[in-house]
Amino acid sequence: MKLLEPIKLGDFRLKNRMAMAPMTRSRANMEGVVGPSTVLYYKQRVSAGLIISEAINISKQATGSPLTPGIYTQEQVNAWKKVTQEVHEKDGIIIAQLWHTGRVGNSLVKNGELPVAPSAIGIQGQQHFTMEGMKDYETPHPLTIEEINLIIQDYKHAAINAMEAGFDGVELHAAFGYLPNQFLADSSNRRTDEYGGSINNRNRFVLEVMQEIVAAIGEDKAAIRLSPTSIYNNITHAQPIEQFTSLIEQLNKMPLAYVHLMKVPFPADKFPQYPVDALETFGKISKHPVIANCGYTRETGEETLQKGLATLISYGTLFLSNPDLPKRFEIDAELNQADRATMYGGNDQGYIDYPFLNN
């Protein structure tokens, strides 16, 4: 079974081709510090060939949701060290996903400060979770050039902190409608300066962030996650094929570990300009290894690898509820079902109490 074959990914030797996808779990404290339960959570799932952490805030400003972890204070870094040490003791590989939520937040979570974005365009038709309940999205503060440059440096420092914390590399979260994705999308980016307008200008922020990260932590340690067809958080692209082809061709020039592509379903009747299959369309352009993500099963993951469309398959919910997922795939065992009520916040229930086989 190809999913269970060991593979070399850059300098990493992975025990299988199954990655644990990044999943927000909201189990940090109010200061963005993870605790002992998070250490155990990742240790339990070390059977994954590659673990990609939950999204980690790169700065106080980057935080959009309560109880999500950060990596911008020494206390946060020290807490993550305990996670990476446990993973490495079990011969695991763990990547830190770097996160700036941009406009996907609320001032109630940000000490009264407005969320920021490329342009002053708020998210419509959705609400955001705060400690005071669900709230409408606000019109974000449009970033100045100086503020953009500061955020790029925040990404660089977060990458350096991640390496200090013992992570094996970092992944830029440029998907699902968060800040880098907001720069990419013409629905959220109406700028008329060098960060908006043309495809090249809208790609600029992501490319500059990646350049800084690579320069800071070295070759084959940086990666990126993209969702070319996701419309979540009011993200739409007028020319997605042209946009992401150009972006990936520029990323090809950088010494990256991999490109993580989300194959997100979308209403084809409303978005005829979108590629039918994001993995087939953009995966073949990438000169870097491709990790495929979004709703894969044992069978569809294996089929995708057999066709040569991806190097690894990442699983989210299945790893959440099945810490021993590779063993279950190997013997085609029954899978635990995820408790959706405990996915985003709570205590240890639905976090570190999912049963292993024979337990």
Q: Which residues contact 259 (CB under 8 A, 6 or more apart)?
A: 223, 224, 226, 248, 251, 283, 286, 288, 289, 290, 291
Catalytic residue list contains 274: no
Secondary structure of 298-333 as H, E, C letters: HHHHHHHHHCCCCCEEEECHHHHHCCCHHHHHHHCC
Q: Sign of the CA dihedral 121, 267, 318, 85?
A: negative
Q: What is the distance between the alpha carbons of residues 116 and 63, in angstroms, rounded to a whole number?
A: 11
In the set 178, 296, 315, 354, the catalytic residue is: 178
Q: What is the distance between the alpha carbons of residues 74 and 164, in angstroms, rounded to a whole number?
A: 10
169 DSSP 8-state letter: E
Q: What is the distance between the alpha carbons of residues 74 and 79, in angstroms, rounded to a whole number?
A: 9
**Catalytic residue positions, numbered:** 178
